[in-house]
């Protein structure tokens, strides 16, 4: 095992894109909604458009322009923005439909290697989301997909959004460890760069199809992360978890 990990006690995971496939899951949930309401947009494009508003919405919180709110609140606002752009008839859409569609983010399939990889990693390390998702969303995703988390850290526990330093630092504090005894597991170079700057260990998981077949971002490690792996099973191998 990589000697840098001998003192690591907690692996904190990015979830959307790293552990679960948000794009196909959101498209699956959106498809019947879009048909019912006669919105002529491809469900995968709809998922991409919705997701594209995710970082700008969090940025308003990071900058202090608006107070911290849970991710489902941001997702709901973004959903209404995307629907407006497609000239949706809000008079024909019930609040219950929007609530249900917004829960698409809590019903996403894990990547095929995720459950086995997490199960193996959990034998040696405590594991949990270190995600921008809220606690209930992470809980529901875990029960939907069988993700065997020990604890949920990240945005809601720290009242901040990655890549703010406090999301990493307060998550480490919540699990009772100094930052250097925590490892960030993510498919996004920016997330790992911020985690490293905060003192955490880093594992890059390549997810070249998170954004579909034509993905251009995060195809490769942009720094010498402590471990680079093609799946959570490969990460478990690299960290000595059989």
Distance CA 212, CA 202 (A): 25
Residue 121 is a binding residue for a copy of itself (CB under 8 A): no
Q: How far is the CB of 53 from a copy of itself (least distance, A)?
A: 22
Name the residue nearer to a copy of itself (CB basis): 88 or 101: 101
Distance CA 226, CA 166 (A): 21
Residue 137 is a binding residue for a copy of itself (CB under 8 A): yes
Residue 135 is a binding residue for a copy of itself (CB under 8 A): yes
Q: How far is the CB of 196 from a copy of itself (least distance, A)?
A: 23
Residue 138 is a binding residue for a copy of itself (CB under 8 A): yes
Three-state secondary structure readout of the chain: CCHHHCCCCEEEECCECCCECHHHHHHHHHHHHHHHCCCCCCHHHHHHHHHHCHHHHHHHHHCCCCCCCCHHHHHHHHHHHHHHHCCCCHHHCCHHHHHHHHHHHHCCCECCCHHHHHHHHHHHCEEEEEECCCHHHHHHHHHHHCCCCCCCEEHHHHCCCCCCHHHHHHHHHHCCCCHHHEEEEECCHHHHHHHHHCCCEEEEECCCCCCCCCCCCCCCCCCCCCEEECCHHHHHHHCCCC
Residue 99 is a binding residue for a copy of itself (CB under 8 A): no
Residue 115 is a binding residue for a copy of itself (CB under 8 A): no
Residue 221 is a binding residue for a copy of itself (CB under 8 A): no
Name the residue nearer to a copy of itself (CB basis): 102 or 202: 102
Residue 136 is a binding residue for a copy of itself (CB under 8 A): yes
Residue 155 is a binding residue for a copy of itself (CB under 8 A): no
Residue 71 is a binding residue for a copy of itself (CB under 8 A): no
Q: How far is the CB of 120 from a copy of itself (least distance, A)?
A: 15
Interface residues for a copy of itself in 171-200 (CB under 8 A)? Answer: 174-177
Residue 152 is a binding residue for a copy of itself (CB under 8 A): yes
Which residues in this chain contact a copy of itself in the complex, by CB under 8 A?
126, 134-140, 142-143, 149-153, 156-157, 174-177
């Amino acid at each position: 095992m990589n000697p840098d990990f001998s003192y690591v006690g907690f692996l904190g995971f990015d979830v959307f894109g790293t552990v679960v496939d948000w794009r196909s899951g959101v498209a699956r949930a959106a498809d019947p909604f879009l048909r019912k309401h006669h919105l002529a947009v491809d469900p995968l494009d709809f998922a991409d458009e919705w997701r594209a508003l995710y970082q700008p919405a969090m940025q308003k919180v990071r900058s202090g322009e608006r107070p911290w709110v849970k991710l489902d609140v941001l997702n709901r606002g973004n959903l209404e923005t995307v629907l407006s752009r497609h000239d949706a008839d809000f008079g024909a859409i019930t609040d219950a439909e929007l609530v249900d569609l917004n829960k698409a983010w809590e019903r996403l399939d894990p990547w095929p290697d995720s459950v086995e990889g997490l199960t193996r990693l959990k034998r040696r390390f405590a594991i949990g989301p270190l995600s921008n998702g809220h606690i209930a969303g992470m809980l529901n995703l875990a029960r939907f997909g069988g993700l065997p988390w020990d604890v949920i850290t990240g945005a809601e526990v720290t009242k901040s959004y990655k890549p703010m330093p406090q999301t990493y630092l307060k998550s480490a504090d919540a699990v009772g460890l100094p930052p250097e005894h925590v490892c960030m597991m993510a498919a996004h170079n920016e997330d790992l760069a911020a985690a490293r700057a905060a003192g955490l260990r880093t594992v890059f998981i390549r997810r070249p199809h998170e954004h579909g077949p034509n993905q251009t971002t995060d195809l490769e490690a942009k720094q010498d992360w402590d471990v680079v792996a093609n799946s959570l099973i490969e990460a478990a191998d690299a960290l000595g978890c059989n």
